[in-house]
Amino acid sequence: MDSDYDYSAIKEAGHISYEALKYAKGVVKEGASVLEAAERIEKFIMEKGALMAFPVNISINKNAAHYTPKFGDTLRFSEGDVVKIDVGARKREYLGDCAETVDLSGEWAGLVEACEEALEAAISLVKAGREVRDIGREIENIAKKRGIAPIKNLGGHGVERDDLHASVFIPNFDNGDSTRLEEGQVIAIEPFMTNGSGYVSDGEDVEIFQKNGNANSRLADTREISAFIDESYSTYPFATRWLVDKFGAASEFKVRRALNDFARLGILESFPVLVERKGGMVAQAEKEMVVQKDSCEVITA
């Protein structure tokens, strides 16, 4: 970690993220619009004086992560939904990240509780010198005890300035990784659990992107959209709907054409919705923390 790392800023980003997550749980209700929920959560973060670290993820049932509504999205929460809410606030280059699951069905309490239990047990292990495989083993043991599976190709991560998924991967099972946590390191632990295969694959929907590089395009619209992204989001992830909201409903075609142009130029990273391979139900829990000598300080609290 850099010696000039601003821990007060990361803690502020974490606190706002946590407050937004608490707020989000109140807007996820049967019959409510998923698009309106996302917009309200994002507005909450910005009214707290922060920016978005990434578009709010509202992933339902077999979708594990990366679902954010499209422009004009008509999807509504239904009675049987298991909803993962993943939010992150940004203060300057410092990033918050946390997630919870809301069970609107009332039928998946065990799955949700397993994630929460695993997260707390994993946090109790965090200290400088701890091997990340130990954290993964604890998460996996709790899943097995409950007769479900951790999702093995998702996990927690380091958090650094301007980089939400940095330095270290925190597995959800014992993957044999002997990497040791370091004092002062910022990490997020992120159990995902399922009654399915224990793996996710890329789905067809993609509404979250990240631009890295200049768009030397012959199209004026593409250059205009590129300049707006650079000014507004820099290299942070953004949602397609944010661009359409900016340029107007009639602009959706030119926005998507610009994204295609960025992809052709090799300067666009996409984040497809991640779907449980066998269609299993998925739950998620996540907190962010600072590693200390003998424990950790949770900052999304």
Read off the CATH number of the domain in which 144 is found: 3.90.230.10
CA distance 198 to 131: 22
Distances (CA, A) of 191 to 119, 217, 276, 286: 6, 41, 14, 7
In a shared domain, residues 82 and 102:
yes
Q: Give catalytic status of residue 131 as yes or no.
A: no
144's tokens: 């097995």
In a shared domain, residues 59 and 40:
yes
145's tokens: 């005890």
> What is 110-143 written as a DSSP string?
HHHHHHHHHHHHHHHH--TT-BHHHHHHHHHHHH
Q: What is the mean pLDDT of residues 29-49?
A: 98
81, 276, 286, 288: the active-site residue: 286
Q: Residue 2 falls within a domain, yes or no?
A: no
pLDDT: which is higher, 218 or 234: 234
In a shared domain, residues 178 and 65:
yes
Cβ neighbours of residue 114 closer than 8 Å, sequence gap 6 or more: 142, 143, 146, 148, 193, 283
pLDDT confidence of residue 2 = 61
Q: Give catalytic status of residue 157 as yes or no.
A: yes
In a shared domain, residues 199 and 223:
no
171 pLDDT more than 70: yes
Q: What is the mean pLDDT of residues 217-245?
A: 95
19, 42, 81, 97: the active-site residue: 97
In a shared domain, residues 108 and 18:
yes
Q: What is the CATH number of the domain that holds 232?
A: 1.10.10.10
Q: 287 near 14, Cβ under 8 Å?
A: no
pLDDT confidence of residue 167 = 85
Q: Residue 80 falls within a domain, yes or no?
A: yes
Secondary structure letter of residue 281 according to DSSP = -
In a shared domain, residues 15 and 161:
yes
In a shared domain, residues 148 and 285:
yes
Q: Residue 120 falls within a domain, yes or no?
A: yes
CA distance 224 to 228: 6
What's the pLDDT band for 217 if we cut at 50, 70, 90? confident
pLDDT: which is higher, 179 or 2: 179
Q: What is the mean pLDDT of residues 100-128?
A: 98
φ, ψ for residue 160, nearest 5 deg: -125, 175
Q: Residue 1 falls within a domain, yes or no?
A: no
Cβ neighbours of residue 107 closer than 8 Å, sequence gap 6 or more: 80
In a shared domain, residues 228 and 285:
no
Instruction: Tell me if residue 97 falls in helix, strand or coil.
Output: coil
Mean pLDDT across the chain? 97
Domain hosting residue 157, numbered range: 7-203+273-298
In a shared domain, residues 264 and 279:
no
Q: 297 near 166, Cβ under 8 Å?
A: no
CA distance 184 to 1: 7
Q: Give catalytic status of residue 190 as yes or no.
A: yes
In a shared domain, residues 185 and 48:
yes
73, 131, 165, 224: the active-site residue: 165
Q: Residue 81 falls within a domain, yes or no?
A: yes
The model's pTM is 0.96
In a shared domain, residues 144 and 188:
yes
A 10 A CB-CB count for 261 gives: 21
CA distance 271 to 68: 10
pLDDT confidence of residue 301 = 87
66, 157, 261, 288: the active-site residue: 157
| HSE value, Cβ hemisphere, 13 Å, CA-based, for 168 | 24
Q: How many separate domains does the chain show?
A: 2
CA angle at 17 for the pair 124 and 37, rounded to the nearest 5°: 125
12, 138, 160, 190: the active-site residue: 190
Q: Residue 231 falls within a domain, yes or no?
A: yes
Of 139, 128, 197, 210, the C-alpha closest to 168 is 128
19, 86, 100, 207: the active-site residue: 86
Cβ neighbours of residue 113 closer than 8 Å, sequence gap 6 or more: none
In a shared domain, residues 135 and 243:
no
Q: Residue 174 falls within a domain, yes or no?
A: yes
Q: Give catalytic status of residue 66 as yes or no.
A: no
